[in-house]
Amino acid sequence: MGFVDYQAEGMVGILTINRPAALNALNSGVLDDLNAALDGVDVNEIRALIITGAGDKSFVAGADIAEMSALTKEEAEAFGRKGNDLFLRIESFDIPVIAAVNGYALGGGCELSMSCDIRICSDNAVFGQPETGLGITPGFGGTQRLARLVGMGMAKQMIYTARNIKADEALRIGLVNAVYPQAELMPAAKKMAEGIARNAPIAVANAKKAINDGYQVSIEEGAAIEEELFGDCFETHDQKEGMGAFLEKRKEKIFTNN
């Protein structure tokens, strides 16, 4: 895949958007390559996924303005659907996805990071939704996920003003979970992913689904979703292994995703 590199390190997969000359901007080719890369992730073997950008300047600097500038209304809507379909796929992917944001995460880059389960960033990271300054709205989920993550007031402020924010402010408003010196970002992302990978994959996947599916419904509906997914963990090897290890006071656990 020309714009996306994929490698597996043990039970952790790493997707790197590799278009550094364009600050890893998202064009149709990058979106297609990301989709294809996700197809290649074996979720029976890989238990956590990291998405990052090539180079030390940019995670993803946005969608490709040169490609978008000449779109018709119908073409723009289709392009938005292409990005939204991909980001919805990432959001509901079978395993947790960590965005390791190394530099600019603007427009589509900010939206990509928000489709991931967890965001951590380098101290030179910059986030923003600059679209209103370009005469458009966010088109890959920014108007939806940003408000859910940082609250409606802050989301409206960021989108209406098109103002970028630095890593410390992103941390303060809850857009990212942690900020690291750039050299420490990927080691921290891998350490977090490895910690996730050590836990029972069925339980982690069910927890992700319970959180995602329950977030936009009533507490009663959410509790019902949780009950079903909680019960679904039982009678599995991993449930017996995890509880057996606890009762036997042993640290070693072998989770098999069964």
CA 172 to chain centre: 19
Q: Exposed, middle or buried by CB within 10 Å (0-12, 13-18, 19+), for 101? A: buried
Q: Exposed, middle or buried by CB within 10 Å (0-12, 13-18, 19+), for 250? A: exposed
What the block records as the tokens of 93 is 């992917």
Query: In whole angstroms, what is the distance from residue 222 CA to residue 36 CA?
Result: 32
The total of other beta-carbon atoms located within 10 Å of residue 91's CB is 16
Using DSSP, state whether 207 is helix, strand or coil. Answer: helix
Q: Using an 8 Å Cβ cutoff, are 208 and 166 in contact? A: no
* Active-site residue (options: 91, 111, 194, 235): 111
Q: Verify whether residue 169 is a known catalytic residue.
A: no
DSSP string, 16-38: EE--GGGTT-B-HHHHHHHHHHH
Q: Verify whether residue 111 is a known catalytic residue.
A: yes
* Active-site residue (options: 45, 67, 131, 235): 131
For helices 108-115 and 142-150, what crossing angle results, to 10°? 60
73, 62, 71, 66: which is closest to 24 by C-alpha? 62
- Catalytic positions are 111, 131
